[in-house]
Structure 1
């Protein structure tokens, strides 16, 4: 464990847990070493995480110009797509970030330090692994293990991170399964969501869902790779890739929707193209840093991924089910209610995910700190990100409460839809502090998966 350091506040476990929000509260915005580390990870991560919801907001604005029925239809399709996607995405990304952060931290420890740690804990001495390395490494051109995970360096200085390969394999498989499931079952799934066979929303909703489902493999692959980069504490690369993809989406939207007159199918095509662009950029950058072909199948850690991912699965289903159920109930009330729900939901997602940047920072720093047994830094990080999360939630609540009524006109000019949006504003604004804390608590807890 790291030596005691006054720069990291400690937490008295005997005190009430609520006290964590007041512990050294004067330091919450201080740009000390820990504050800078959190900011360098959280700020790009927040921008990357909100880039896609912002692009969806732009999609919503363009589709809203077609009509309230199309806006409502797309809202149902997105809710259904997200329900299926997040069941796979959230466990995959969360497990990837923690595993990669731990493997990267272990791989950066010198062999002497690892030998010493192994002797202290009674674990297998790392030098035993070194005996397995051929004397002539050039003859075999293999990786040199530096830990029990098989993590090391290869001659071109690319890292060997088994969890990165695992995430890509699982992401590709889940993406293909999701695409097949949604395309083949589009109509019955929409019927289940409350869009009946006689509903004017059925045709545009089915068109949008079918086309957008073609991008499912790219969505899961790109998010798996984002989890890898987060584990490296690199949130800038995902930001650049996401911005590039979303800018292309925003440019292509009016071209496909209005110039080519493809309507909601045009919006879906633009979104699919942007997702494959993001995935291609991330894969290109990842291959520069990581050797994606491990020594053997045992280094993929597929069992650990599936075991820990399943632990998160029920939690994710419960969370996303609430949103999906709400969308279903709104759809059953008609296109006006569903259109208003779509606008409120997209605004809620875009603002809520700002706090997820803090969750990413907390998860990456905590995983690294625990791998190095620096428990003082782990406690200080948990305290700081929770305090920042609460502060951010209160600020978002004030901004949305005052400004959403005016911003709603950017999405639709329909008076009935605007009236329904006004009814939803108190809920969108009032839940922001709760959302922010929920996201940050997720990041704090996921470090131990």
Structure 2
């Protein structure tokens, strides 16, 4: 099958399925990876340890902000260099991403270890959760260089055309973490510290695999210090291209800190519950995100080919798929809401808060897919800025003020409703923005 047959001729339902299914699987693997630490710490039955993992989650999110900036930005620069047959620039880009990741990772480790007390205080750790949070933070800190580089390297390897090898590297880290979590947390009785040790070892193993790939399999990727440079616009192009994703992740980290600070006033049980809900609800969100992201090449190809009829067909069908998947997943979660929380922990107080929070977070479940499809449509027609604005609004600039406003009006119930209210505002805004862009494109096409 050639590219044109899949992208431009195949029946839309079949083409969407062919593109979306692998993307959905990849997204759900990410969900499982993110759930692992909270799930296995929850099996200790100690809500304070679950709360500590929730409180320290922004650290990992912030590491991913830098990993995505170097990885996605490096991928864009590397792809252009390979397309231009500029092997020197390809080597420089891969070397820059490697050493920039390691340097930032080492800085992360130093800052976390030296300033651990004030950092954990800002995150909302109190006398009951401090020791657990400290154990997790210490062991995740020395893993920072490996966590950041292994995630960035997966983008670079994929940009060279080796998507299978990129997936293998990611899977090594995920599987290792899932296997090691119960060993360190329960068998060796390390609790939250064990979760961090498992995460660090998983990323060290993934880094080892990418190291082997760079040295033995890759034709152009380089680890040589002599290829490292910040000149020739390498630094500005890599960081500039990856900056929107980094801002998105950084704001997500900030909003998580704010949410935990608002909740810890009501005790550690709501903090433990929101950590579980945040991870559990990822299934509904990432299922639809996977569908939307999977069809982006279809949208881009047909826009580039000037086939707006097929573009609109793909858009419409994908939105229907997201709506069906969103309604089905949300209904399933609503029916089994208590059982889902009890999968993670059996503490009755945490379960009580968790059930209410899960229902609140699920309110936007049926429609959140529309936001992702509209954003991908914008990106596919070269309008990345409004898509980035929507992401930034949803993860921080709109969410954070709303959390404070809703808490002032409705207390704890207002805090837990913040994300769904933000989601609905972002979905409505995305329809207005995309409709405006689409009308402009159709007007230009008519002339």
Native 8 Å contact 1:359 1:440 kept in 2: yes
Native 8 Å contact 1:100 1:164 kept in 2: yes
Q: Supply the distance in 2 between the matched residues of 1:258 and 1:434 (Cα, whole angstroms).
A: 39
Q: Supply the distance in 1 between the matched residues of 2:248 and 2:71 (Cα, whole angstroms).
A: 14
State which of 200, 203, 206 in structure 2 corresponds to 1:278.
206
The 3 A distance-change label for structure 1 pair 235 and 271 is same
Q: Supply the distance in 1 between the matched residues of 2:212 and 2:377 (Cα, whole angstroms).
A: 30
Q: Quote the residue 2:437 is aligned against.
A: none
State which of 218, 225, 238 in structure 1 corresponds to 2:146.
218
State which of 89, 100, 103 in structure 1 corresponds to 2:67.
89
Q: Quote the residue 1:239 is aligned against.
A: 167
Query: 1:227, CA displacement in angstroms?
Result: 1.9
The 3 A distance-change label for structure 1 pair 233 and 208 is same
The alignment's TM-score, normalised by the length of structure 2, stands at: 0.70
Verify: 1:178 aligned to 2:115, yes or no. Answer: no
Q: Quote the residue 1:202 is aligned against.
A: 130
Higher relative contact order (CA 8 A, sep 6+): 1
Q: Quote the residue 1:111 is aligned against.
A: none
Q: Residues 394-414 of structure 1, C-alpha deviation per residue, up to 9 Å, x if partnerless?
A: 332222222232122121111
Q: Residues 68-126 of structure 1, C-alpha deviation per residue, up to 9 Å, x if partnerless?
A: 11111121112x3134224323433433444445555xx3xxxxxxxxxxxxxxxxxxx
Q: Quote the residue 2:14 is aligned against.
A: 31
Q: Supply the distance in 2 between the matched residues of 1:6 and 1:52 (Cα, whole angstroms).
A: 31
Q: Supply the distance in 1 between the matched residues of 2:7 and 2:185 (Cα, whole angstroms).
A: 55
Query: 1:210, CA displacement in angstroms?
Result: 1.4
By percentage of residues, which structure has more helix? 2
Q: Residues 309-346 of structure 1, C-alpha deviation per residue, up to 9 Å, x if partnerless?
A: 34554444434432331122222322211111111011
Match of 1:31, SS state, is helix
Q: Residues 110-167 of structure 1, C-alpha deviation per residue, up to 9 Å, x if partnerless?
A: xxxxxxxxxxxxxxxxxxxxxxxxxxxxxxxxxxxxx2x6159xxxxxx956544443
Verify: 1:58 aligned to 2:39, yes or no. Answer: yes
Query: 1:208, CA displacement in angstroms?
Result: 0.9
Q: Quote the residue 2:397 is aligned against.
A: none
Q: Supply the distance in 2 between the matched residues of 1:184 and 1:91 (Cα, whole angstroms).
A: 25
The 3 A distance-change label for structure 1 pair 366 and 151 is farther
Verify: 1:292 aligned to 2:217, yes or no. Answer: no
Counterparts of 1:3-152 in structure 2 under 5 Å?
8=8, 30-32=13-15, 35-36=17-18, 38-39=19-20, 41-62=22-43, 65-78=44-57, 80-103=58-81, 107=83, 147=84, 150-151=86-87
The 3 A distance-change label for structure 1 pair 226 and 268 is same
The 3 A distance-change label for structure 1 pair 354 and 91 is farther
Counterparts of 1:309-324 in structure 2 under 5 Å?
309-324=242-257
Match of 1:432, SS state, is coil
Query: 1:304, CA displacement in angstroms?
Result: 0.7
Q: Which runs of 5+ in 2 are unaligned?
A: 385-447
Native 8 Å contact 1:86 1:320 kept in 2: no
How many residue pairs match? The answer is: 373
Q: Quote the residue 2:177 is aligned against.
A: 249
The 3 A distance-change label for structure 1 pair 439 and 238 is farther
Q: Supply the distance in 2 between the matched residues of 1:47 and 1:359 (Cα, whole angstroms).
A: 13
Q: Supply the distance in 2 between the matched residues of 1:262 and 1:296 (Cα, whole angstroms).
A: 39
Match of 1:292, SS state, is coil
Query: 1:419, CA displacement in angstroms?
Result: 0.7
Match of 1:333, SS state, is coil
What RMSD over aligned residues (CA atoms) do the two structures have, in Å? 3.8
Query: 1:272, CA displacement in angstroms?
Result: 0.9
The 3 A distance-change label for structure 1 pair 205 and 410 is same
